[in-house]
Amino acid sequence: MTEIILRTERLNKNFGGLIAANNISLSFERGRVHAIIGPNGAGKTTLINLLSGDLLPSDGTILFKDRDITTLPPHKISQLGIGRSYQKTNIFPTFSCYENCWVAAQSRLKTSMHFFRPAIRLRSVQERAERALDLCGLSHRSACLASAMSYGEQRQLEIGMMLATEPELLLLDEPLAGMGSEESLQVIDLLQRLAKNHTLILIEHDMDAVFAIAEQLTVMVNGRVLETGTVEQIRNSQAVQEVYLGAEEETS
């Protein structure tokens, strides 16, 4: 039987008069890749911000493994096993790759680790940082300053920083944005590897990538869920074709 790892119930977010998330009730299955697509301004990033605790909902509930996390701050949500990457790269440019991952690993250290001696904690942080660099394919760039790397590598590092927190559920906000085709293929490959033992919620405009990686698909328009289902169901949906896929060229 499939397990629901994360569920939202009638989630709402208003910015003044604007309803950026409107009655969002979605279930995300453990171990699956669930993509969220929709035109610019549809509310995709807002939804991720609500799930990660970066925004507080105006109304509704978020359950992670049946635990109510609706009002928890981002660091608590991170410690529970939800990691996120940002649409705009969010790294420390004057730190090396390794240092960026080290900071992420240490800042999200689970409270249970506080009972251990500093030397053990330090080793654990170092190991997490090294594992994350290895996973995101940047081990060979460990000592390189983040600012000296290509944009694609910086996006990879952003994913590495998320992995350093050892999350079960990854929230990825347009990981391919602004990348060339060669770099995109590398990141798609990375996401496919991560999908083997993580749950992914992926916002992405690149439909080829979405169809290559995702199993479940939700289409958002104007803050609402237009439709949700398997990739095949969404591909064949008349409503989606009319409202979203038909307008794909206009949405960057």
Ligand X SMILES: Nc1ncnc2c1ncn2[C@@H]1O[C@H](COP(=O)(O)OP(=O)(O)OP(=O)(O)O)[C@@H](O)[C@H]1O
- Phi, psi for residue 159 in degrees, rounded to 5: -70, -40
Verify binding: residue 165, Mg ion, rule CB under 5 A: no
Q: Dihedral sign, CA of 38, 214, 9, 73?
A: negative
Contact partner, 175, from ligand X, Mg ion, none, Cβ < 5-8 Å per class: none
Q: Which two tokens stand for residue 58?
A: 């105006």
Q: Between 40 and 111, name the residue whose CB sits nearer to ligand X.
A: 40
What is the nearest approach in angstroms of ligand X to the Cβ of residue 46?
3
- Which is nearest to 110 in space by CA: 134, 84, 81? 81
Integer Cα distance of 38 and 44 in angstroms = 7
**Single-letter amino acid code for the residue at 108:** R
User: Counting contacts by CB under 5 A, is residue 45 touching Mg ion?
Assistant: yes
**85 near Mg ion (CB under 5 A):** no
CB closer to Mg ion out of 153 and 204? 204
In this complex, which beta carbon is closest to ligand X, that of residue 129 or of residue 203?
203
Give the C-alpha separation, 93 to 232, whole Å.
Answer: 41
Query: CA of 197: how far to CAs of 30, 87, 96, 191, 192, in Å?
Result: 10, 23, 27, 11, 10
Q: Tell me which residue has its CB nearest to Mg ion.
A: 45
Positions in the binding site for ligand X (CB under 6 A): 15, 18, 20, 38, 40-46, 87
Nearer to ligand X, 41 or 60 (CB): 41
CB of 173 to Mg ion, least distance (A): 6
Nearer to Mg ion, 171 or 190 (CB): 171
Which span sits near Mg ion by CB under 5 A: 60-68, 85-93, 94-102, 206-214?
85-93
